[in-house]
Chains A and B, each alone.
Chain A
Amino acid sequence: GAVVSQHPSRVICKSGTSVKIECRSLDFQATTMFWYRQFPKQSLMLMATSNEGSKATYEQGVEKDKFLINHASLTLSTLTVTSAHPEDSSFYICSARTGSHNEQFFGPGTRLTVL
């Protein structure tokens, strides 16, 4: 099946710094990528949807200036958490979808801890 990777798998940063998380589709071209956030013991919440070459669409309540999403190619999307605060600590999961399938393929997730 299709493989999606995320890097890094785990990151710890200081409050006020910015962190970039990469999401790559390894063996297919992802026309659409999605970013989710998961708090401990809770379900996934969609943060934003990005299509290659265009601006991301953010869900209500998600600050687009804080969570910068770039989808510059068909195999790479990045999420940058700017000026991170401890409340941004969470598990961030990306997924990718091709235009020919109605299935999303999920990455392994990135654990962000902001001190």
Chain B
Amino acid sequence: AQSVTQLDSHVSVSEGTPVLLRCNYSSSYSPSLFWYVQHPNKGLQLLLKYTSAATLVKGINGFEAEFKKSETSFHLTKPSAHMSDAAEYFCVVSLNQAGTALIFGKGTTLSVSS
């Protein structure tokens, strides 16, 4: 069965320092994986997605994630945090190749202090 686990419910960083949001997945086949960001009372915005092409995926706003099959991980990183990065981040795995069934992680709240 497919599942996704976000290892940290809350991450706090200082502005200008690196960001690491951890995600592990479980899938019986090569999955499609996504990271979404949600600002307060807003919908979800796609940061990046992995669909079996390059294992290092670059997304918007300086974020990137690396698909590591041996570790079943898809951690999200950013070299330098900005105040505007403070939000809720969801790691998502697709249950099927068509992307019609998504399983969401429980989310990681990222706080950025000045």
Contacts and interface: CB of A to CB of B under 8 A. Distances in A.
Chain B interface bracket (under 10, 10 to 19, 20 to 34, 35 or more): 20 to 34
B104 interface: yes
Interface string A1-29: 10010100000000000000000000000
Interface residues of A, number: 25
Given A42-B106, A43-B90, A44-B90, A106 B44 contact: yes
- Give chain A's interface secondary structure class: strand
A41 to B, nearest CB: 8
Interface of A: 1, 4, 6, 32, 34, 42-46, 49, 91, 93, 95, 97, 101-109, 111
Interface of B: 32, 34, 36, 41-46, 49, 51, 90, 94, 97-102, 104-107
7 closest residue pairs by CB, A with B:
A102-B99, A108-B43, A106-B44, A43-B104, A106-B43, A109-B43, A44-B104
